[in-house]
C-alpha cells in the first residue's frame, strides 16, 4: 500500500476520530480537529482517493467516512504506534489480578477477568497447550470397587485427574502395580508422544490378567489424552451490550449467541494460532478485524490475542474480542501487560 504521507495522516486521523466519536467523519470536522495545513477540499480529494483504495467508506452518499476493515488493517499494520501503559494504568491492572491462587487455572481466569474489566470488552484465554509437557507422575487411586481416580502431574506444574471405571474385581494391589508400571514407563514422555500402544507396552510385566489390564490401560490412556484437551475461558460477554456499536439488538444477539458456543470460539483461536497470516516475528500478538473473522456475528468485532508461556514449550493465548472501533494501541498494550504479568506469575508453578 503506497500512500503519500498526508494520505496516511488522513487515514490515521479518520480512524482516530471515528474511534472516539462513533460518527462518520467529514472533511470539515477533520480540519477542525487536526492541523492539516490544507483546505477541506484537498482533504476531500484525498478521502476520495482513500475510498477508491477501499480503506474508508461512506454509510450513505452524503455522510462522512468510516474506516473499512482494510482501513483498520492498514492502520494496525503501518500507522499506529503502541505506547507503554502509564504507571498508573499498570498499577490498576496489578491491583486487580489476584495472584494468591494455588492453581494455574485460577490464575488464568483471574487474568482474563482483569483483562475484561480493564478493556471493557470480552476477554478470553485458552488453557495451556499441554501436548509438549511431559508426565512427571501418574497415580491410580482406588475409590471403590469398579471406580478409580487417575491423577497426573505434568511437567508444567499442572495437576490433572479423571475418574475412570475399572473392572469390579481388580484390587488395590493390582491397581498399584499397573499404576507403577505406567508411571515408570511414561515418566518424562511428552503427552503427544503417548499413544495407546506405548501405554500398553508400559504394563507388560505387571502380572495382572490381560482382560482386566486392557480396560484400565484404555481408561488411563483416555485420562492422559483428556489432560491435554483445550479449555477456553470467556469473560465479560455482557459488556458488549454497553457499547454503542452493538446497540442494535440483532447484532448483540448474534454476537453473544456465537460466543456462547465456547467450543467453537476455542476452535477458532486454535485455527488462528496455526495460521500464517500474522507477522508473528515482529509482534507478539495476532489480530483479526471484522470480516477477517470467520465466526458468525463477529463482523463488527476485532479479535486480538497474545501468547503466554507457562514454560518455553507450553503456551496458551489470552486476548480480547471488542468492537472494530476500538483504541487498538491501547488495547494491545493492555493485553501485552496482562500477558507479561501472567508469565511472571506462572513461574511460581513450574
Partner DNA sequence: ATTAGCACTCTATCCCTATGAGTGCCAACA
Partner DNA sequence: TGTTGGCACTCATAGGGATAGAGTGCTAAT
- The residues of the shown chain that bind a second copy, judged by CB under 8 A, are 102-103, 136-137, 139, 141, 143-144, 149, 151, 153, 159, 161-165, 236-238, 241-242, 247, 249, 252-253, 256-257, 259-260
256 binds, among DNA, a second copy, none (CB under 5 to 8 A by kind): a second copy
Distance, CA of 267 to CA of 42 (rounded, Å)? 47
Compute the distance between CA of residue 54 and CA of residue 15 in angstroms, rounded to an integer. Answer: 14
Smallest distance from the beta carbon of 329 to DNA, in angstroms?
24
To DNA, the closest distance from the beta carbon of 276 in angstroms equals 36
Helix (H) / strand (E) element for 246: namely none
CB of 23 vs DNA, minimal distance in Å: 7
Q: Which does 39 bind (CB under 5 to 8 A by kind): DNA, a second copy, none?
A: DNA
SS3 call for 161? strand
Q: How many CB atoms lie within 10 A of CB 277?
A: 10
Compute the distance between CA of residue 195 and CA of residue 175 in angstroms, rounded to an integer.
Answer: 20
Closest Cα partner for 324 from 71, 112, 136? 71
* Interaxial angle between packed helices 172-186 and 210-227, expressed in degrees from 0 to 180 and rounded to the nearest 10: 50
Q: Which CB, 138 or 269, lies closer to a second copy?
A: 138
Q: How far is the CB of 79 from a second copy (least distance, A)?
A: 33
From a second copy, DNA, none, which one binds at residue 253 (CB under 5 to 8 Å depending on kind)? a second copy
- Interface residues with DNA (CB under 7 A) are 6, 23-29, 37-42, 44-45, 47-48, 51, 58-65
CB of 278 to DNA, least distance (A): 32
| Choice between 34 and 139, CB closer to a second copy | 139
Q: By C-beta, is 70 or 113 nearer to DNA? A: 70
Tell me how far apart the alpha carbons of residues 236 and 116 are, in angstroms, rounded to a whole number: 6
Q: d(Cα 79, Cα 19) in Å, to the nearest integer?
A: 15
Using CB distances below 5 to 8 A depending on partner kind, what does residue 159 bind out of a second copy, DNA, none?
Answer: a second copy
Q: Residue 29 or residue 350: which is nearer to DNA going by CB?
A: 29
For residues 42 and 311, which CB has a smaller minimum distance to DNA in the complex?
A: 42
CA dist 319 and 15 (Å) reads 22
Please say which residue, 57 or 299, places its beta carbon nearer to DNA. Answer: 57
Query: Which helix (H) or strand (E) is 131 found in, with range?
Result: none
CA 341 to chain centre: 15
**Rounded to an integer, what is the distance from CA 66 to the centroid of its chain?**
28
Cell of 234: 470467556
Nearer residue to a second copy within complex by CB, 72 or 134: 134
How far apart are CB 139 and a second copy at their closest, in Å?
6
Return the number of the residue (22 or 215) whose C-beta is nearest DNA: 22
When CB distances are held under 5 to 8 angstroms depending on the partner's kind, the choice from DNA, a second copy, none that residue 260 binds is: a second copy
Name the minimum Å distance from CB 250 to DNA. Answer: 16
| Closest distance to DNA from the beta carbon of 324 (Å) | 19
For 269-276, the CB contacts below 8 A with 24+ separation are: 269/124, 269/126, 269/232, 269/305, 269/317, 270/126, 270/230, 272/303, 272/305, 273/305, 273/307, 273/317
Tell me which residue of 274, 346, 266 sits closest to 311, measured CA to CA. 346
Q: Of DNA, a second copy, none, which one does residue 62 interact with (CB within 5 to 8 Å by kind)?
A: DNA
Amino acid at each position: 500500500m503506497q500512500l503519500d504521507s498526508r494520505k496516511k495522516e488522513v487515514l490515521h486521523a479518520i480512524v482516530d476520530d471515528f474511534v472516539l466519536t462513533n460518527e462518520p467523519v467529514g472533511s470539515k470536522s477533520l480540519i477542525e480537529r487536526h492541523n492539516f495545513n490544507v483546505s477541506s477540499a484537498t482533504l476531500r480529494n484525498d478521502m476520495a482517493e482513500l475510498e477508491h483504495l477501499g480503506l474508508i467508506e461512506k454509510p450513505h452518499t452524503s455522510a462522512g467516512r468510516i474506516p473499512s476493515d482494510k482501513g483498520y488493517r492498514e492502520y494496525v499494520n503501518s500507522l499506529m504506534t503502541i505506547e507503554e501503559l502509564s504507571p498508573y494504568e499498570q498499577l490498576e491492572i496489578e491491583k486487580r489480578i489476584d495472584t494468591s491462587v494455588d492453581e494455574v487455572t485460577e490464575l488464568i481466569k483471574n487474568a482474563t477477568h482483569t483483562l475484561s474489566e480493564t478493556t471493557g470488552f470480552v476477554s478470553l484465554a485458552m488453557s495451556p497447550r499441554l501436548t509438549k509437557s511431559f508426565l512427571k507422575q501418574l497415580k491410580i487411586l482406588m475409590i471403590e470397587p469398579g471406580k478409580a481416580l487417575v491423577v497426573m502431574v505434568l511437567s508444567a506444574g499442572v495437576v490433572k485427574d479423571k475418574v475412570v471405571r475399572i473392572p469390579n474385581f481388580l484390587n488395590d494391589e493390582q491397581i498399584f502395580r499397573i499404576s507403577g508400571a505406567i508411571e515408570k514407563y511414561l515418566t518424562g514422555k511428552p503427552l503427544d508422544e503417548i499413544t495407546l500402544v506405548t501405554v500398553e507396552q508400559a504394563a507388560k510385566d505387571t502380572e495382572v490378567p490381560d482382560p482386566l489390564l486392557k480396560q484400565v490401560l484404555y481408561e488411563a490412556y483416555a485420562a492422559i489424552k483428556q489432560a491435554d484437551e483445550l479449555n477456553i475461558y470467556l469473560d465479560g460477554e455482557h459488556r458488549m451490550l454497553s457499547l454503542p456499536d452493538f446497540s442494535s439488538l440483532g447484532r448483540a444477539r448474534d454476537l453473544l449467541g456465537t460466543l456462547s458456543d465456547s467450543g467453537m470460539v476455542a476452535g477458532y483461536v486454535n485455527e488462528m494460532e496455526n495460521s500464517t497470516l500474522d507477522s508473528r516475528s515482529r509482534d507478539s500478538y495476532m489480530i483479526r478485524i471484522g470480516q477477517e473473522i470467520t465466526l458468525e456475528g463477529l463482523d463488527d468485532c476485532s479479535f486480538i490475542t497474545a501468547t503466554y508461556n507457562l514454560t518455553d514449550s507450553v503456551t496458551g493465548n489470552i486476548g480480547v474480542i471488542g468492537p472494530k472501533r476500538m483504541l487498538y494501541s491501547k488495547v494491545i498494550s493492555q493485553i501485552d501487560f496482562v500477558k507479561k504479568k501472567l508469565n511472571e506469575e506462572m513461574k511460581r508453578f513450574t
